[in-house]
């Protein structure tokens, strides 16, 4: 796979507004999740944090991307989102600035994740908040998990353990 098939080509703004190259995560398996504070799946933050803590020292990272694409379930500012996540769920995994994960203003990262032409692996649609994309240590897409899939499901754990 070439660099073009890797998320490492992207630079995104973290929740504080600073540029972060996703190449900084080379050598780590990555789970990218579009998150929202007012969704029925919002309690997944708790299990995402547990997953992150379980594997953080084994070259695994979760990257949270707040998005307001579904029923206005992420209306907050970046500062409000960050405060909500820390206060309610103790989130310590990297959080990024709010982006769009579908539609005309879809972020380039999510165009990559959802278009086989770009990622070399699969086409997909972001169905709702808390959809999970798993990437290997080279930043290549390996799997997609549905919004309703619990982050601690055996299938997800197994997929992560194969990559780390």
CA–CA distance, 99 with 33 (Å, rounded to integer): 12
Query: Which domains are present in the chain?
Result: 3-163 (3.40.30.10)
Sheet holding 132-135, edge to edge: 60-66, 29-35, 132-135, 141-145
pTM beyond 0.85: the answer is: yes
Q: Which residues contact 123 (CB under 8 A, 6 or more apart)?
A: 114, 115, 116
The residues assigned a catalytic role are 39
Q: What is the H or E stretch that residue 25 is in?
A: none
Which DSSP symbol is given to 62? E
Residue 4 pLDDT: 82
For 16-74, write each residue's pLDDT tens digit.
999 999 999 999 999 999 999 999 999 999 999 999 999 999 999 999 999 999 999 99
Span 88-104, average pLDDT: 98
């Amino acid at each position: 796979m070439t660099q073009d098939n890797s998320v490492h080509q992207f630079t995104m703004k973290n929740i504080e507004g600073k540029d972060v190259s996703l190449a900084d995560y080379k050598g780590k398996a990555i789970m990218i999740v579009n998150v929202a504070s007012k969704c029925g799946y919002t309690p997944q933050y708790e299990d995402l944090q547990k997953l992150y803590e379980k594997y953080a020292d084994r070259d695994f990272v979760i990257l949270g991307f707040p998005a307001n694409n579904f029923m206005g379930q992420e209306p907050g500012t970046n500062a409000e989102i960050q405060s909500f996540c820390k206060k309610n769920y103790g989130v310590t995994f990297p959080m990024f600035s709010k982006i769009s994960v579908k539609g005309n203003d879809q972020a380039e990262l999510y165009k990559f994740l959802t278009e086989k032409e770009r990622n070399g692996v699969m086409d997909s649609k972001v169905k709702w908040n808390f959809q999970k994309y798993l990437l290997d240590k080279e930043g290549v897409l390996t799997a997609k998990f549905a919004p309703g899939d619990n982050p601690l499901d055996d299938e997800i754990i197994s997929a992560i353990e194969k990559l780390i």
